[in-house]
Chains A and B, each alone.
Chain A
Amino acid sequence: MAAVRVGSILILACAIAGLAACGDDKKAAGAKGGATVTIGIAAPLTGPQSHIGKDLENAVRLAAEDANAAKVVVGGKPVHFEVQAEDDQADPKMAPVVAQKLADARVAAVVGHFNSGTTIPASRIYNDAGIPQISPSATNPKYTEQGFKTAFRVVANDNQQGKVVGEYIARELKSKALAIIDDRTAYGQGVADVVERSAKAAGANVVAREFTTDRSTDFKAILTKIKGTRPDVIFFGGIDTQAGPMLQQMRGLGIEAQFVGADGIQSTELFKLGGNAVEGTLASFPGLPLERMPQGASFGERYRKKWNQDVVLYAPQGYDAFNVFVEAMKRAGSTDPAKFLPEVAKTDYNGITGPIRFDEKGDLKDGPITIFKAVGGKWQALATIGGPSQGQGAKAAEKN
């Protein structure tokens, strides 16, 4: 009895679905050279990192608006750009789901994701679907080591970032006792490992390696242990939501070591979360500071006018990623991903973040790394290492 009911309902549903499919030609348009092109943006729009994700979405929307205002023409036809934003909640389980959703919607390209932990699983789906993907912020080296032709990034990766930081700690800070903490996430542990290796190689002495999680708020136990080893520098691989309380607890325990972090802590939120304890902290960023970027100041102005807030972190990279796609489409004369994907690899574009060129893996060539210092409640650029103006191999530091 029940089986008959269930069965008939199911068959009916399938029949309806089948009929719906016949009458549905929405899927045909989109990337196949129609007048409207959708670019996807995937980032954590909800959750503790939503301020960074929203920042990216804002940037891409601004870029789309600018492109539409400029009346871009591709292959002789005017193109109108749309943006489809998806929330991956910084969750590696959610990332493939979101990626599949964007792939099903036949977006022409994707700016995303934000975290390394989400960018890597999603990249598989984009690769299978042939959709070019530029991450504005994922720094884990594995992303471009998978051999996917569709994977690119417009920031330096952790191998480069961690190396610079590790060497800075050893050479500039002349650390004799380095303690390292990471938050056991793909990002935090990845960058901490590279820092440890490169600091040791440059002559620093690592006295402690401790761990926490990306949900903890109590770090007293590990900080006390570290205090016992009397470090002069503490490096933390993790993000601002942990770094803030960690700094407060550090000072509360009377630890006066220099605190260094990577791009995960280099945000405006850190000052709210850590208060006075943040003063003097150093953080690296796989790019240039906004005011040093060729068109950074004007971008910051336009962003503030449109969205009523300052750039949070990776907005310039997101903006540039969008435009790399537009440029590639223009050069290929087509909005079909199969046609403009090879052009993306050949990009030689001057974005607001600086010159953008990709190497054969999809990494940014000559990506600069900036070391920032927290001074008076704001981040001040201290030194820029690497970058195209310095040339290959040279590591000249531009002091502020």
Chain B
Amino acid sequence: METARRRRLAWAGLALVAAALAVLPFALASAFGLAWVRVVNLALLYVMLALGLNIVVGFAGLLDLGYIAFYAVGAYCYALLSSPQFGVHLPFWITLPTGFLLAAFFGVLLGAPTLKLRGDYLAIVTLGFGEIIRIFLNNLNAPVNITNGPQGVNLIDPLRLGGFSLASRGSFLGFDFGGPQKYYYALLAITLGIVALNLRLQDSRIGRAWEAIREDETAAKAMGINTRNIKLLAFAMGASFGGLAGGLFASIQGFISPESFGLLESVTVLAMVVLGGMGNIPGVILGAVLLTAVPEVIRYTVVPAQQAMFGRVLVDAEALRMLLFGLALILVMVLRPAGLWPATVRKREFAR
């Protein structure tokens, strides 16, 4: 009795969520403007990134401070294959998977020398790796111009299928159906796919192997788990999702430059994973959405609010945004070190 009712409620809930997600872009666009649809798209990209990092940090317990490098690899891979940079314009069903695989390769490249390193040393090496990638991207424009250096790559093709481009404007049932809205649906579909994949991974043998390594590597080894391969797999899989997100990012923005892929970005993604609830997929999604949406809301409201309250702007939006971000990190860690929505296992681990 109970179970059947709960199951029906669960389905109803899911249906509501699905309906809400389906009309979200139109509601946002009419009420608050197209900019907010872009914010939602950005949030979806970050959800993908956070889920990818979650595999490395949350599932396998490997501290990665340079994750954004894989995002950069995927973005540049897509950009170089679909822009005037080399005059090559391959379709997205070639460039996106290429970015996916290339990022995975770099993930293995990062993982290989770091297998023996302990937590803090791993952190600094991954950080260094992230910086190395960014510096190379910023400088590979001489003697051979590969990445166009600090000027970045411009006029990147959007996702296209035949004549239908995701960037063009159009209308649908009387509503404005422009680029951001179309991208929203594409991103949503891909994100849902990644979520499903992650859920399956978590319950699979690989997922359990990761959990074992995270909890106690020596014991895991003793149980016969090939820790080296499993760790490399974690890096590769996590990196590959980052690469996919990067390719999508390049196609949406139309312009990328090395400045978008710095340490602060890596830290932000890590914060999303940790604040949301490391290792717990819904938690990580929540973390990503919150840390993308809240700063935007702050940016839009903080100046008018201060004008209304004090008659002038005491603290500008950017400073306040970063200040609150930092405070949020401290507060959440001190008050709820397991994250906002942790897995039950983690909750017990952090109980004081």
A and B in direct contact, judged by CB atoms within 8 A: yes
Binding site for B on A (CB under 8 A): 1-8, 10-11, 13-15, 17-18, 20-21, 24, 27, 45-47, 87, 89, 91-93, 96-97, 100-101, 103-105, 117, 120-121, 124, 140, 142, 146, 184-186, 188-190, 211
Q: How far is the CB of A118 from chain B (nearest CB, A)?
A: 10
Which chain B residues border A120 with CB–CB below 8 Å?
Answer: 154, 255
Q: A47-B318, A91-B259, A186-B152 are in contact. List 20 more A-B contacts (CB 8 A).
A: A7-B12, A7-B13, A7-B14, A7-B16, A7-B19, A7-B20, A10-B24, A13-B20, A14-B24, A15-B27, A17-B32, A20-B31, A21-B30, A92-B255, A103-B34, A120-B255, A121-B254, A186-B151, A186-B257, A188-B150
Kindly state whether residue B334 has any CB partner on chain A within 8 Å. no
Say if the beta carbon of B15 comes within 8 Å of chain A: yes
C-alpha spacing A22/B10, complex, angstroms:
32
Most buried by B among A5, A13, A14, A97: A14
Contact of A146 among B15, B17, B155, B257 (CB under 8 A): B155
* Per-position binary interface string of chain B over residues 306-317, scored 1 when its CB falls under 8 Å from any chain A CB and 0 otherwise: 000000000011
Complex contacts, A190 vs chain B, CB 8 Å = 151
A-contacting residues, B175-193, CB 8 Å: none
Q: Which of B24, B139, B260 contacts A93 (CB 8 A)?
A: B260
Is there contact, CB below 8 Å, between A4 and B16?
A: yes
Contact with A along B299-330 (1 / 0, CB 8 A): 00000000000000000111100000000000
* Residue in chain B with minimal CB distance to A4: B13
For this complex, 25 residue pairs linking A to B, each with C-beta atoms less than 8 Å apart, are A1-B10, A2-B282, A4-B13, A7-B12, A8-B13, A10-B16, A11-B16, A13-B27, A14-B20, A14-B24, A15-B27, A17-B31, A17-B32, A18-B27, A21-B27, A24-B30, A92-B259, A93-B259, A93-B260, A100-B34, A121-B253, A184-B149, A185-B150, A189-B141, A189-B150
Chain A residues with Cβ below 8 Å from B297 are: none
Chain B residue at minimal CB-CB distance from A20 = B31
Contacts of B294 in A (CB 8 A): none
Chain B residue with the shortest CB-CB distance to A5: B13
Chain B residues within 8 Å of A6, by CB: 13, 16-17
Question: Is B9 in contact with chain A by the CB < 8 A criterion?
Answer: yes
Shortest distance between the CB of A73 and any CB in chain B (Å) = 31
Tell me if B4 counts as interface (CB < 8 A to partner A). no
Chain B residues contacting A10 (CB-CB under 8 Å) are 16-17, 20-21, 24
Q: How many Å lie between the Cα of A189 and that of B152 in the bound state? A: 12
Query: Does B31 lie within 8 Å of A186, measured CB to CB?
Result: no
Q: In the complex, what's the smallest C-beta–C-beta distance from A51 to chain B, in angstroms? A: 14
A313 CB → nearest B CB, Å: 21
**Complex contacts, B21 vs chain A, CB 8 Å:** 10
State how many angstroms separate the Cβ of A17 from the closest Cβ of chain B. 4
Q: How far is the CA of A96 from the CA of B14 in the complex (A)?
A: 34
Select from chain A the residue with minimum beta-carbon distance to B258.
Answer: A184
Most buried by B among A1, A89, A92: A92
Determine chain B's interface SS by DSSP, over half rule: helix
Among candidates A21, A92, A105, residue contacting B257 with C-beta atoms closer than 8 Å: A92
Q: In the complex, what residues of A have CB within 8 A of residue B30's CB?
A: 17-18, 21, 24
Q: Is the CB of B31 within 8 A of A24?
A: yes
**A17 & B35 in contact (Cβ 8 Å cutoff):** no
Given contacts A87-B317, A100-B35, A189-B150, contact A17 B28 (CB under 8 A): yes
A167 CB to closest chain B CB (Å) equals 23
Q: For the complex, give the distance between the alpha carbons of A179 and B267 in Å.
A: 38
CB nearest to B37 among chain A residues: A100
B166 to chain A, nearest CB (A): 13
The residue that A117 contacts in the complex, of B26, B35, B259, with Cβ under 8 A, is B259
Residues of B within 8 A of A185 (CB): 150
Task: Indicate if the CB atoms of A89 and B318 lie closer than 8 Å.
Answer: yes
Q: How far is the CB of A44 from chain B (nearest CB, A)?
A: 10
Quick one: which of A18, A87, A93, A189 contacts B316, CB cutoff 8 A?
Answer: A87
Q: In the docked arrangement, what's the CA distance between A115 and B14, Å?
A: 47
For the complex of A and B, 5 pairs with smallest distance between CB atoms: A7-B16, A3-B13, A4-B13, A21-B30, A10-B20
Q: Give complex CA distance A24, B27 in Å.
A: 13
Chain A min CB distance to B51 (Å):
18
With a cutoff of 8 Å between Cβ atoms, the chain A residues found around residue B319 in the complex are 46
A186 to B28 alpha-carbon distance, docked (Å): 35
Question: Is the pair A97, B27 in contact by a Cβ cutoff of 8 Å?
Answer: no
Query: Which chain A residues lie closer than 8 Å to B259 at the CB level?
Result: 91-93, 117
Give Cα A180 to B84, complex, Å.
29
Contacts known (A18-B27, A184-B139); A4 close to B12, Cβ less than 8 A: yes
Find out whether the CB atom of B9 lies under 8 angstroms from the CB atom of A4. Answer: yes
Q: Given A3-B17, A4-B12, A186-B152, answer yes or no on A46-B316 (Cβ-Cβ < 8 Å).
A: yes
The answer on a CB contact under 8 Å between B38 and A97 is yes
A17 touches B155 (CB 8 A): no
